[in-house]
Structure 1
Amino acid sequence: MAAKVQPIEVNIGIEEGDRKAIAEGLSHLLADTYTLYLKTHYFHWNVTGPMFQSLHQLFETQYTELAIAVDDVAERIRTLGYPAPGSYSEYAELSSIKETRGVPKAEDMIRLLVEANEAVVRTARATFPAVEKASDESTADLLTERMRVHEKAAWMLRSFL
């Protein structure tokens, strides 16, 4: 009979309570990012009209980047010693972005994606106080990059309106 393996404590210079607070903030960011990924991919499949080609390509570029971001955020949560949420029901509870039912017109898709990208920025920004309190430069770097990407995505989408 094999001995039970005990998990090794995380000792990266960030107190457990701080790691927990950061992981909770990142869980909201993960849910927002995944919800935006799904919405962007959905719009990529269903966009029509005179802007079809441009939007179809832009949405693909954006959802491809989001797929990588989801993994980066989830892995940071794991690095901090906590499980990353991964079910639709958890994402629905944690996300500040609402799903879109039905197929909106292209301009409405653009507006919804601008709003969703800006929501991700606000979620990332809301996580900074816990990150700064713990001097967690690794998570600060991740949040800064996510904010930069989503601010730029919102700007690019807004330019279509």
Structure 2
Amino acid sequence: MKSTPQANIDALNTVLSQTFRLYVQTHGYHWNVEGHNFRQLHEVFEAQYQNLWGALDEIAERLRIQGTYAPGTVADLMSKAGPEDAPAQSAEEMVAKLIAGHDALADTLRGAITTAGEAGDEVSVGLLTDRLEWHEKELWMMKAGTR
């Protein structure tokens, strides 16, 4: 196995950490959403957090395949994820904050795809591109519901 550039490992760690943060945020919103769109948003948030949860394992396993360890503690993940957002109180604010979270992660994914491509890591490019596709679709759907 060839050596993986540190920039590629760092990019995967950032994607993993930001995915974890968005997972926790989305799951919390699933638990706490209220209002006239409760059932719809409760189901949307559940589908999102389940997808994010599955992605965590895929990304962490990709790090292991690269020959490095994935972050093993919440503190380690959060230190690489960036600042945590203040909790939202209303359903509208929850959706707005999730739009911002998916947007930020999509930007991170675009950079990570470039980094993986430069490293010749086609498998990570594929994984990250699939993740970007999912986030862009979720963004489209959430933004369409706010118009």
Q: TM-score, structure 2 length as denominator?
A: 0.93
Query: How far off its partner does 1:17 sit?
Result: 4.9
CA distance in 2, matches of 1:68, 1:109: 22
2:94 maps to 1:109: yes
Query: How far off its partner does 1:97 sit?
Result: 5.7
The structure 1 residue matched to 2:105, chosen from 120, 125, 131, is 120
Total equivalences in the alignment: 146
CA distance in 2, matches of 1:62, 1:40: 7
Q: 1:28 touches 1:95 (CA, 8 Å); kept in 2?
A: yes
Q: 2:103 touches 2:139 (CA, 8 Å); kept in 1?
A: yes
The structure 2 residue matched to 1:45, chosen from 10, 25, 31, is 31
The structure 1 residue matched to 2:117, chosen from 132, 150, 153, is 132
Please tell me the residue identity of whatever aligns with 2:111.
A
Where structure 1 has 5 or more consecutive residues not aligned to the other structure, the ranges are 1-10
User: Structure 1 or 2: larger helix share?
Assistant: 2
Q: TM-score, structure 1 length as denominator?
A: 0.85
Partner of 2:15: 29
Query: How far off its partner does 1:149 sit?
Result: 0.6
Partner of 1:65: 51
Identity %: 34
Partner of 2:74: 88
Q: 2:17 touches 2:80 (CA, 8 Å); kept in 1?
A: yes
CA distance in 2, matches of 1:153, 1:131: 23
Task: Tell me whether 107-116 or 127-136 shows the greater mean CA deviation.
Answer: 127-136
Counterparts in 2 of 1:47 and 1:104: CA distance versus 1, 3 Å = same
